[in-house]
Amino acid sequence: MRARRLLAPPGTGEYLTAPMDTRTDTPRDAEERPDPLRIERLCIERGLKMTGQRRLIARVLSEAIDHPDVEELYRRALALDARVSIATVYRTVRLLEEKGILERHDFGGGRARYEATDHGHHYHLIDIDTGKVIEFSDVQHEALAKAIAERLGFTLIGHRLELFGRRPADAEAAPRRGPRRRGGEPA
Amino acid sequence: MRARRLLAPPGTGEYLTAPMDTRTDTPRDAEERPDPLRIERLCIERGLKMTGQRRLIARVLSEAIDHPDVEELYRRALALDARVSIATVYRTVRLLEEKGILERHDFGGGRARYEATDHGHHYHLIDIDTGKVIEFSDVQHEALAKAIAERLGFTLIGHRLELFGRRPADAEAAPRRGPRRRGGEPA
DNA sequence: CTACCTGCAAAAGTTTTGCCACTAC
DNA sequence: GTAGTGGCAAAACTTTTGCAGGTAG
């Protein structure tokens, strides 16, 4: 009786974020977020009580350049300090999400995945063969989304654009068998 | 100990699909899918064995103009014929999703919601105050998505665009307290 | 006839929570 | 000192599945 765990199994070289950009906006690369206290500072700003566990989780989040799920965050935190429980990780990501410090994503696979919101609005392209997530931004789309919402009589509060693509079969390591995904997507 | 059930509670006048359109594409309205055998026909086309339960569920799906979750589908099916179990509904939607007849969505709220794929590609605008989902299509966006994917070196297989908005506070019944959502969104 | 279905209840998997000791401020 | 925290284990929820009996084709 087993079913979940569909995208790249969390644990190792999984869903790495490839540095990318499509247009006029900011590019991202692995070296972009070196400050391990970034998230902690944000927490303090919002008046959160900083305990050892929170500081630890905040640091893990600050150093993440990918989109880890709770289990992965827990694993990374444990590696730094064993005095954390997964319940606390769950409570903390929920709290940080409510505070607007984290963004929750559902890329399929049955588990929520998180990333800090402090590096600008951007979108995701998911490689359906490998599960890798590539970030990009696009001002044109940004404007279009706003325009559409207004045309429908709404004020745009947020939006989500996800592209599911496949690298033309040739370059790069052989595409691993297409994993079954969960969560609304390709059409 | 209770937590899920965050968006509009399934059961009654919930997430109704408002007929809408933004641009050159097809508008939708409640009268658009009158054929109660639509899905069943698709099932047969794909060689599925048609049992009473499947026919029942197919009919419920054919008549749905919204994005019901499994529990809601089960409820509607039960109302027509008690000889169906929720396990079968789960099995059936999964099967139909694999066959490309249904599309699974995660609009937040912790439950997957479904809709038939046979009425064209479109996007969703979720009213964050009521949980209502409005469908729309936009050729401009369609083209942009394809262009972006190619710019990143991918062939676009599918894409998802979701707008989260709020109706300017005035017209319409008072916005019910903003429900906590689950699932990546506003930023 | 046979491969595929269904119901039921149990299990799996993720996320939340009651309770109580504990600690940041 | 006190409101907010963390750990643990149990609970809540959604979704899947083993099994045994049924049924479409």
Q: Are B74 and B81 in contact (CB under 8 A)?
A: no
Mean pLDDT of chain B: 78
Å separating the CA of residue B50 from the C1' of nucleotide C16 = 40
SS3 track for A5-48:
CCCCCCCCCCCCEECCCCCCCCCCCHHHCCCCCHHHHHHHHCCC
* Mean pLDDT of the B136-165 span: 93
pLDDT at B85 exceeding the cut of 90: yes
Of B148, B163, B186, nearest to A148 by CB-CB distance is: B163
Residue B28 has pLDDT above 70, yes or no: no
Neighbours of A1 (CB within 10 A): 2
Is A141–B144 a contact, with Cβ atoms under 8 angstroms apart? yes
Answer yes or no: are the C-beta atoms of B40 and B53 closer than 8 Å.
Answer: no
Tell if the CB–CB gap between B165 and A151 is shorter than 8 Å: no
Q: Which pLDDT value is given to residue A23?
A: 30
Ramachandran category for residue B153: left, alpha or beta (phi over 0 → left; psi -120 to 50 → alpha): left
**Res. A75: pLDDT tops 90:** yes
Give just the sign of the alpha carbon dihedral B64, B66, B67, B70: negative
pTM recorded for the entire structure: 0.73
Check residue B60 and give left, alpha or beta (phi > 0: left; psi -120 to 50: alpha).
alpha
**Which tens digits make up the pLDDT trace of B3-25?**
333 332 222 223 333 333 333 23
CA of B85 to C1' of C8 (A): 9
- Distance set, CA A153 to CA A70, A147, B20, B61 (Å): 37, 10, 11, 29
pLDDT class for A32, splitting at 50, 70, 90?
low
Is residue A156 within 8 angstroms of chain B, CB to CB?
Answer: yes
The burial class, CB within 10 Å (0-12 / 13-18 / 19+), for A11 is: exposed
Query: What does the alpha-carbon distance between residue B126 and residue A25 come to, in Å, rounded to a whole number?
Result: 26
- A5 Cβ contacts chain C strand, under 7 Å: yes
pLDDT at position B71 is 97
Q: Is the pLDDT of residue B166 over 80?
A: yes
* More confident site: A12 or B93: B93
Question: Which nt sits closest to A97, CA to C1'?
Answer: C15
Task: Name the pLDDT band for A168 (thresholds 50, 70, 90).
Answer: confident
- Residue B139's closest CA among B28, B20, B24? B24
What is chain A's mean pLDDT, rounded? 77
Rounded, the Å distance between the CA of B57 and C1' of C5 is 14
* A25 contact B CB<8A: no
pLDDT: which is higher, A40 or A23: A40
